[in-house]
Amino acid sequence: MIPNTATTYGSVTKSFHWLTALLILTNIPLGIYANGLPFDTSEALAQKALIFSLHKTIGVTALFVAIARILWAISQPKPASLHPDRKVETFLAETVHWLLYASIILVPLSGWIHHAATTGFAPIWWPFGQSLPFVPKNDDLAHSFATLHIILERVLIISFALHLLGALKHHFVDRDLTLKRMLPGTTDPEITPAPHRVSAPILAAGVVYAAALATGTALGLFAYEKGDVVTPQLATVETGWEVREGTLGLTVRQLGSDVMGSFQDWTAAINFSETPDADGKHGDVVVTISIPSLTLGSVTAQALGADFFAADTFSTATYRADVFADTQGYIARGTLMIKDREAPVNLPFSLTIDGDVATMTGQTKAQRLDYGIGQSYPDESSVGFEVVINVDLTAERVE
């Protein structure tokens, strides 16, 4: 029998039920396993990304299965409880059912939004892209939905366990047909259908979710912390041009995808004149960068770790350069020091000056191995050697 009746679940409902259970039992352990995997070598990172991609792909599949299941359930009669006289038991069972219905939508959806809001790392295996409409790339947003995903997952696990225990109780203690009528074949118990009261269980499920979110908030789980690395307070610099606004960004290649990030805290001591001196120099610049202020999508913590920037030991980087005219505008010729290593880096840039306001845009590249960054990733199969650096700023002349 395909559709439900007032006393029996149809084959479509049964198929959705067991498929959903299979996806849950597969994907939750898979996510926990992937989260615990190391990523200290190229091979380990590739393995971690593989398992996470599988987890995300199954999660998106589970979301669409859940939507289809709910739409089917709405169109079907719900078989009556075998024990309508047990009001408390029936109420608790309905509450758990509503928790499960909400969870099988909210858990994969929150994970998908987290994935869409961040950059880099394990992709979803499908041809429709990795972004979602109206979901910007934002680390705070990604962290909030990652936390929400974990909290909702806990509700799902508890609800699933209660649902399973209830089914086993009916089968082994009550010895009734509650479990059997969800198995293949048709079981039509002789009962009188009783109306379902859904408002109270829905309200109870909402209270459970509100309590879970309130607990997560009280524990500070939604607070975005990048770790125990202390961000240094950069000293005020003397400069001929004061930066009013600007972006110091970088792009790295990881597992075939670009991961974009930026440093939130940096200073620039700029001395510049439209007229060059006798050596053709237009000025000089010293940029000091707070390494712990880096945000780099899903790999921020890894980038700040000991094998990469080692931000807890080397909290700042410095770029010193002289500025010369160039065929494309200007070029800063200098050296970049990261950790305890220094290497030459030239930055070509365009410059527009309107009165006392200057707008500058430039891009250059650096090699991570020149600075001992990511030495346990000696090839480009996991992390690319080349790092693209982008600078955009607006500065005002200081009188």
* Chain position carrying tokens 């398992």: 51
Other Cβ atoms closer than 10 A to 13: 20
Backbone conformation region of residue 233, classed left if phi is above 0, alpha if psi is from -120 to 50, else beta:
beta
Q: Which residues pair with 358 in a beta bridge?
A: 353, 395
| Residue 29 pLDDT | 96
CA 230 to chain centre: 23
Q: What DSSP line would sit under 195-227, residue for residue?
A: ----HHHHHHHHHHHHHHHHHHHHTTTTS----
| Residue 83 pLDDT | 81
Q: Which residues pair with 251 in a beta bridge?
A: 260, 388
Residues 153-187 pLDDT 10s: 999 999 999 999 999 999 999 998 888 889 887 55
Weakly modelled stretches of the chain, pLDDT under 50: none
- The rounded distance, in Å, linking the Cα atoms of 54 and 35 is 12
Using an 8 Å Cβ cutoff, are 230 and 263 in contact?
no
| Residue 230 pLDDT | 66
Residue 48 tokens, joined:
């971690």
| Residue 256 pLDDT | 82
| Residue 187 pLDDT | 58
Using an 8 Å Cβ cutoff, are 234 and 293 in contact?
no
Average pLDDT for the chain: 91
| Residue 339 pLDDT | 94
| Residue 228 pLDDT | 56
Residue 386 tokens, joined:
């080349």
Helices (H), the chain: 11-36, 42-75, 87-117, 139-168, 199-218, 300-304
